[in-house]
Amino acid sequence: MKKILIFASGNGSNFQAIAEHLLPKGIEIELLTDKEGCYACERAEKLGVKSHFVPFKQTEEFLKTAKYDLYVLAGYMRILPASVLQYGTFVNIHPSLLPKYKGMDAIKQAFDAGETECGVSVHYVTEEVDAGKIIEQRSIKVRPTLEETESEVHKLEHEMYPHIVGQLLGGKTPAL
């Protein structure tokens, strides 16, 4: 049975989308959070997923104790050092068409810049923020308001990320 560890710091909507997609397929899922009591923890409890509160400075120590087939960042607002990344394959989702708009507030950056398209990138995690090899990107047209654009980007995230994680677990490399 495949086993993944999903890292989340906040709302956990991508965590939930992945869990709801993969749990029925027999994938074992655990949640790691650096924010005690975050909404992702409530989502995990409702789904029957084991969660771990791990202060960021103790992440490497935690990873020494268990082995996972894939590490999935889903709104985990930390930069992972090489000492953590050595434990396996880490993937992340970012709400922009990388390499544009790395880091925080990417949708707002694209909207404010007057972009006509924005989107989502799933990529491998490296020490450099949002700079790993891109696994897949999808775009949408920017909507009239920032709120509408954010909503559409989040829908796209929830649609594509669970499928990509599933493909990676199955040994398939998603098409670019």
Alpha helix stretches (DSSP H) within 9-105: 13-22, 39-47, 59-63, 82-85
β-strand partners of 29: 4
Identify the residue whose tokens are 């090899």. 133
Of 102, 86, 92, nearest in space to 123 by CA: 92
Whether 94 is a known active-site residue: answer yes
Q: Which of 21, 52, 94, 158 is catalytic?
A: 94
The answer to whether 70 and 91 are in contact (CB under 8 A) is yes
As a whole number of angstroms, the distance between CA 31 and CA 12 comes to 10
Residue 33: in which H helix or E strand, if any? strand 28-33
As a whole number of angstroms, the distance between CA 75 and CA 59 comes to 16
Just list the catalytic residues: 94
